[in-house]
Amino acid sequence: MSGAGSKGAHGGVSGGRDEHHVARHFVICKEIMLGFFNGREQYDVLIDPGQGTLMFDGSDIYWLIDNEQRMSDTINHAIGIWLRDGSIEEVMAPPSPSTAAGSDEPPGRKHEE
């Protein structure tokens, strides 16, 4: 696990998953960069608004897209930075596909290839 020691944003590094952290959910408002590790190498993914949402469980950041949950290696301090600069906004519950379809995001903005 890369960066395990750097994940402790609140004093110490959590010893286990027994602590009751409430997952926080965020919509992506500006382009952000997330780091991932595929078992052999680290790589970054540039994420545009409308390309999924973020979840933070108190220690790890997850990118939720296409009914999948991908854990990022990005340090959890990024959440506070992105909130301050307006890159993400916290939402009370994760947007469901039906709610996302009714948003004012332009359709088809998921990923242009």
Tokens of 27: 């919509």
Query: Is the Cβ–Cβ distance between 54 and 89 less than 8 Å?
Result: no
pLDDT tens-place string over residues 56-68 = 999 999 999 999 9
Neighbours of 34 (CB within 10 A): 20
Cβ-defined contacts of 100-106 (< 8 Å, 24+): 105/49, 105/50, 106/50
Closest CA to 1 of 45, 36, 52: 36
Q: Of 38 and 7, which is predicted with more confidence?
A: 38
Question: What is the per-residue pLDDT for 22?
Answer: 87
Closest CA to 48 of 76, 68, 27, 69: 27
pLDDT tens-place string over residues 21-53 = 789 999 999 999 999 999 999 999 999 999 999
Question: What is the per-residue pLDDT for 21?
Answer: 74
Q: What is the pTM assigned to this prediction?
A: 0.65
